[in-house]
Structure formats: structure tokens, C-alpha cells
Structure 1
Amino acid sequence: MDFKEYLNLLTETEKKHFPKELFFAGDQSLLFEKRRISVVGSRKATTNGLRRASVISKALVDNDIIVVSGLASGIDTMAHKTAIEYGGQTISVLGTPLDKAYPKENASLLEVIKDKHLAISQFSIGYPVQPKNFPIRNRTMALISDATIIIEATENSGTRHQGWEALRLGREVYILENVANDPSIKWAKEMLEYGAQVLTRENISSILESIPYLTAKFDYAF
């Protein structure tokens, strides 16, 4: 399949948001095997938030699902580390070039992911690290994922960008009930009105079994 044939498989919305160029380090087969789910949330995560991220990420591994996240502090870091700890696979979608970790404390984690898993960036080596990079990478993370799970967030959290991008792309969005039930987080209620679902202890097993492989058409694209 050449790139022109590949683009013909995308919906108009996917074509609009697909990066002009992607850079990879690691096992590119992770882009076309198994289902992939993004686990995202606050950089300044609470103890409960980190615990929930670990529980959810382990559940994904147990269901043979690849854990996708953004290498940020807090929830992202826990998602990646949990997937690795329990023998799963993980993809990091960076808001930096592949040779830079943000935060710097995750440099060793990024090297592990590049060596044993997969890191993706749409920013070439030497591209400046700017705040606008991160919402852009959230769009790409949503695009390569079959679903997004929001673990913990505030009203102004950048996590909301990921949720809205996923919904625009026709992907499933799941919001943990602690976020969905927080009256101070207005965007969570709005996302539920647009088709997001609440994820609970009671429904997680059935949801993980039923999430469709929406990104199957990306097989062998790269």
C-alpha cells in the first residue's frame, strides 16, 4: 500500500487532522497490531488518580490492549510504567522531538519506550518545544487510538483537548466517574452529551471487551 492508497482509506475528518509527517523510534508494528487505547489525565495527579491510572492500565494489558499516552508527568507516566511493569506494550505520542523528553525526568522512561515499545512525534529534531505542541499531539494520540480514557482532570486541564479530538474523530471516549460527577468540570458534562460514556468499576470489563478496532484501516500504513 502506498501513501496515496492509504489516504483514501481515511475519512475526511481523519485526513484533515492527520499529521503531514510522523517520526518513529521503536517497534512500528504496534501501530497495526491489536487495539490501542489512550490513558490520559492530569500532570499534577492525586494519589487516587495515580492509583486509578495504574488499575486501568493493568486492565488494558490484561485485555491485550496497547496502552497509549503522552509521556507527561502524572497520569501519563503511570500509564506507561504500568504497561511496562505488567508485560504489556505502550506507545508514547510526544509533544517534543524524539530526542527530547518532557519532562526531563522521563528521559530514561522514553529511552525504554524507544527501545522496547514505540515513541511517535510529528515534530522533527530541532523543532522548538512550545506549549501549542501538546494539544497538537493530543489530536494525533486520539487519531491512532481506538478510544480514550480520561482518568483525572480539572476544568482547565489540557486533557479536555484529547477528549474533544477523539469525539471529533468518531472515537470512543470514557470518563472515570470521579471526573464525570465533579460539578466543577463543565466540559465533562458536555462530552457526555456528545457521546462520551462514564467508566465505572461495574462496567469496565464489558466496555473493554466491546471497544471496536476502529484504527484497523491504519494497518501497514507506515
Structure 2
Amino acid sequence: MDQDLERAALVALMRRGDRSWPDLTDQIESVGSAREVLDSALDASGQGALFDTGPAVDLEAVADEIAAWEREGMRLVTILDKDYPFYLRLVHQRPPFLFLRGTPIEDEARVAVVGTRTPTPEGVAHARAVAGGLAERGVTVVSGLAAGIDTAAHGATLAVGGRTVAVVGTGLRRAYPAQNAQLQREIAERGLVISQFWPDSPPSKASFPMRNAVMSGYSLATVVIEAAFRSGARMQARLALEHGRRVFLMRSLMTHEWAREYASRPNTTVIDGPEDVFRQLDSLVPSTGELTWA
């Protein structure tokens, strides 16, 4: 199987825009070849089968475009690639591909630290303490590069020389918010930035919930510092529970009805501070199983 043409076929399928991402991902994984799925789609639409009647889609040109992205420092990893993140592969919302900028991260101990864009000083302090403490213990800290709690988590991790991953809601050629452009560059230099969107994609109402689903699937646990009901952090906590991942909620969140309801579910722990997370780290990391970088 020509991996370059397989990636090109997957990109071509995505650009058709006639299938939902989960459906397309399921079919490609089931068939085991994006080129075969594309061939069937072209044949069904009357455009001519890719292999039988000549290239209705110029896969060589798409492959050249992918190569140009990679020369720019954006590596494309598809659902058919062995280095697609293993834990993300297990969730329904997994995207067909990811763009990666930065250094491969070769551990399975990844914990997301998330929260509001408008935190209290106490919330910022908690985020820094949790993220910094996790990083000092060799855990990769994952967050979404948003203002507020996310920024505090990434910054605290970098400050102690730890590993951090930013899962962003835009393409890799963009930074959101704009004031975090330098932080995004620093994370790419010292950690990893992940996007499931085309390189020039702007932020949108749809992109951030999709980003939260990927962040949850990519991480073994999610720590929510501060979050209102209508927030991506609350949504990520819900998704993490659906994904069978551990969720840690700061006790200050118990003023919210949503947090009290989540706290009653299995796999949820209410914490008073960073030490409550640290004490449970060993139980988060599987002792066996396939591991992957990214």
C-alpha cells in the first residue's frame, strides 16, 4: 500500500464533504484503505472509478500538497497510520486525520487540565499547581491553548521543564486567541500542537467542541479547575465520562448543579487540591497494552 497515496485519498475524501467525519473514519478503518473508499465514492457518483477509468481525482497533486505541509512543519497523521494516537483511536469522535507540529511525545501518561477563559485568581493558582505538579512527576499536560486556565496550565508546565500538548480549535497556521501565538510557537518547539482542522481553518462555534472531544480522547484523565455550565470544560468532562476516562473536579465546582451531578457518576473524583490528583496517578496509567507517541 502506497502510504502517500492513501493519505492523499483520505484528504480527497474529506474535501468532498458529503460524509460525517465519524462515518468516514469508520468506513476507512473497516475497509482498510482510503483509496478503495474514494474509488467506490467516485464510481457511485458517476465520476468514474479511480482505478478503472483514470484518476477523477489527481492523488499525485494532493500528495504534493501534503508534502508541502510537511515541509512547513505540519505532519499529517491519518487513522490508517500506526502512529495515530492509540487512546484517541478508541473514541467515536476520533477525526480521520490530525496535523501535528512539534516533537513526538513517547509516553501514555497524559492528563488534560482545563477550565474557564475568565478564571478567578484561585483558579489560576490551582491550574498552575496541578499542571506544574503533574509535569514534575513526568506526566504530559494537555490543554486547549485558550485564555485563562488553559494558558496557566501550559505556562506552568513549560516553566518546570515539563511536556505539554496543545489541542487547538483552529488550523496550525493560526493562533487563537491571538495573544497566545508566542505560547503556541513555544509549545511547538518544546512539546506538541495538535489540530484536526485544515491548516488555514479559523476558529468557529463548531471547532471548539470538536477540539474538546479530541482532547478528552487523547488524554487518560481530565482535571476541571473552574467551569460554568455553558463551557467547553464542562463539555469535556461529559465527554471524558462517556469515553470511560477519569474526571477530577475541583470542590469549588460543587456550587454548580452540573458538577454535583457529574460527581455522582463512576470515574469522577472531587478534589481539594493538586495532591488529590497526584495520589491517583498510578491508577491512571495502564500497566499493559499498546502505547503510542503523539
What band does the TM-score fall into relative to the shorter chain? Answer: 0.7 to 0.9
Structure 2 residue aligned with 1:197:
269
User: Does the Cα contact within 8 Å between 2:123 and 2:226 map onto a contact in 1?
Assistant: yes
Partner Cα distance (1:152, 1:40) in 2? 8
1:120 partner amino acid: I
Tell me which amino acid in the other structure corresponds to 1:20: P
Match of 1:208 in 2: 281
Post-superposition offset of 1:58: 1.3
Moved more, 194-203 or 86-95: 194-203
**Which residue matches 1:14?**
90
Query: How many pairs align?
Result: 214
Structure 1 residues 94, 215: closer, same or farther in 2, change over 3 A? Answer: farther
2:109/2:139 contact within 8 Å kept? yes
**Contact 2:86–2:292 (Cα < 8 Å) also in 1:** no
Larger radius of gyration: 2
Taking the aligned partners of 1:110 and 1:203, their CA distance within structure 2 comes to: 29
Q: Which residue of 2 aligns with 1:64?
A: 138
In structure 2, the residue matched to 1:139 is 213
TM-score when normalising by structure 1: 0.87
Is the 8 Å Cα contact of residues 142 and 164 (structure 2) preserved in structure 1? yes
Unaligned runs of 5+ in 2: 1-31, 33-78
> Which stretch of structure 1 is more off in the superposition, 77-86 or 55-64?
55-64
Query: Which residue of 1 is the match for residue 155 of structure 2?
Result: 81
Encode CA deviations 1:130-169: one digit per residue, 9 max, x unaligned. Answer: 1110010000000110100001112322211110111111
For 1:210 and 1:35, locate their aligned partners in 2 and report how far apart those are by CA, in whole Å: 11
**Equivalent residues in 2 for 1:1-222, closer than 5 Å:** 4=80, 14-28=90-104, 30=105, 32-179=106-253, 181-182=254-255, 185-195=256-266, 196-201=268-273, 203-213=276-286, 217-219=290-292
Distance change >3 Å, CA 68–CA 198, structure 1 → 2: same
Cα distance in 1 between the residues matched to 2:198 and 2:271: 36
Taking a change above 3 Å as real, the CA distance of residues 215 and 175 of structure 1, as seen in their structure-2 partners, is farther
Q: Which one is further off, 155-164 or 33-42?
A: 155-164
Aligned equivalents of 2:94 and 2:119: distance in 1?
30
- Secondary structure at the aligned position of 1:17 is classed as coil
Give the CA deviation at 1:75: 0.2
Q: CA separation in 2, counterparts of 1:113 and 1:216?
A: 28
List per-residue Cα deviations over 1:101-145 (Å, max 9, x = no partner): 110000000001111210000001122321110010000000110
In structure 1, how many angstroms separate the alpha carbons of the residues matched to 2:197 and 2:167? 11
| Alignment check: 8 A CA contact 2:172 2:200 kept | no
Question: Counterpart of 2:97 in 1: which secondary structure?
Answer: coil
| Cα 1:6/1:194, change in 2 over 3 Å | farther
Which secondary structure does the structure 2 equivalent of 1:16 belong to? coil
Q: Which has the higher contact order (CA 8 A, sep 6+)?
A: 1
Q: Which runs of 5+ in 1 are unaligned?
A: none
> Is the 1:61–1:83 Cα contact (8 Å) retained in structure 2?
yes
1:42 and 1:192 map into 2 onto residues whose CA distance is: 19
Q: Note if contact 1:63-1:208 (Cα within 8 Å) is conserved in structure 2.
A: no
The separation in 2 between residues aligned to 1:155 and 1:214, in whole angstroms, is 35
With structure 2 as the length reference, what TM-score do the two structures score? 0.67
Conserved in 2, the CA contact under 8 Å of 1:146 and 1:213?
no
